[in-house]
Amino acid sequence: MYDPYSPESWDIEGYGTVYVDDSFFDDDENVLSWYYLNEITLEPVTGDPMETKLEPVFWLNDPDLNNTLELCESEFKAYFHLH
């Protein structure tokens, strides 16, 4: 069933489209890690429950499901490495 608040993909300006189940590489502090995009949710920009403007939140996990990341679009862009 389609859920409009949990899309299967998202277009990121300047980077292209990302899809749930895509994998991403993290080289934070020279510790090499892979993360998988588990879910994209649309959530209010502010904590106000009456907020009507939504922004994407990207939920990533490492392959062992030990580490979960919850990233906004600007934070998620750090995981894109241009070739």
Mean pLDDT per 10-residue segment, the chain (83 residues): 80 90 74 84 85 91 87 86 46
In a domain, 4, yes or no: no
**CA atoms of 57 and 67, how far apart (whole Å):** 16
DSSP track, 23-78: EEEE-GGG--EEEEEEEEEEEESSS-TT---EEEEEEEE-TTS--EEEEEHHHHGG
Q: Using alpha carbons, select from 58, 47, 61 the residue that is nearest to residue 15.
A: 58
| 53 assigned to some structural domain | yes
- Indicate which CATH number applies to the domain containing 57: 2.30.30
The pLDDT assigned to 83 comes to: 33
The label of the residue with tokens 């588990």 reads: 38
Note whether residue 74 is domain-resident: yes
Q: What per-residue confidence (pLDDT) applies to 1? A: 60
pLDDT at 72: 93
3 in any annotated domain? no
The domain of 74 spans 9-79
Number of structural domains (the chain) is: 1
Query: Distance from first CA to last CA of the chain, Å, rounded?
Result: 36
Give the pLDDT score at 52.
86
pLDDT computed for residue 82 by the predictor = 45
| pTM for this prediction | 0.81
